[in-house]
Amino acid sequence: MLKKNWYLFTPLALLGLPALLLCYYIFSFGYPLNEAVESVTYFLKSGTRYAMKYEDRRFSRVRPGMGGREVFELIGVPFERRNNDEEWHYSLPQGSTPYYHERIVKFVRDKNNVPLVKETVKGFHAE
């Protein structure tokens, strides 16, 4: 029976694959539902390149108040430093695609001009 009616599983596959991808982005990347849906929507159109030493588990250990040196030792050299060294970008789009997984560490300087982590940005960038 299954050999003759294999096509009955097509709707299951068409719904199951996006659902699996959605779960992957929620549980592996820690995205909220709206960003996970965007990630699935632009799945084949997105492309992300990461800095050499970058790992998501190390990035998740960056906390507000950490010094710039600690961040550097933990996740390495960023691709770009923007806004007078207040933003370190650890991911960039691959090629000309505007859809990618964004990873940024934002800093603020204390009274001694030492950069301290203000916040981290971890999300799906869709223009």
What 68-75 contacts at long range (C-beta under 8 Å, 24+ apart), as own/partner pairs, is: 68/107, 68/114, 68/115, 68/116, 68/117, 71/105, 71/117, 75/51, 75/105
DSSP three-state, residue 71: helix
State the fold for domain 45-127: Beta-lactamase Inhibitory Protein; Chain:B, domain 1 (3.30.1450)
pLDDT tens, 97-119? 899 999 999 999 989 988 999 99
Q: Where in the chain is the domain with CATH 3.30.1450.10?
A: 45-127
Helices and strands per DSSP (H, E), number in the chain: 4, 6
Tell me which amino acid residue 23 is.
C
The mean-pLDDT minimum among 1-5, 16-20, 28-32, 55-59 falls in 1-5
Answer whether 59's CB lies under 8 Å from 103's CB.
yes
State yes or no: pLDDT of 4 exceeds 80.
no
Query: What's residue 10's pLDDT?
Result: 78
Condensed to tens digits (0 to 9), the pLDDT of residues 69-87 reads 999 999 999 999 988 889 9
Q: Which of 34, 56, 17, 64 has its CA nearest to residue 124?
A: 34
pTM of the model: 0.82
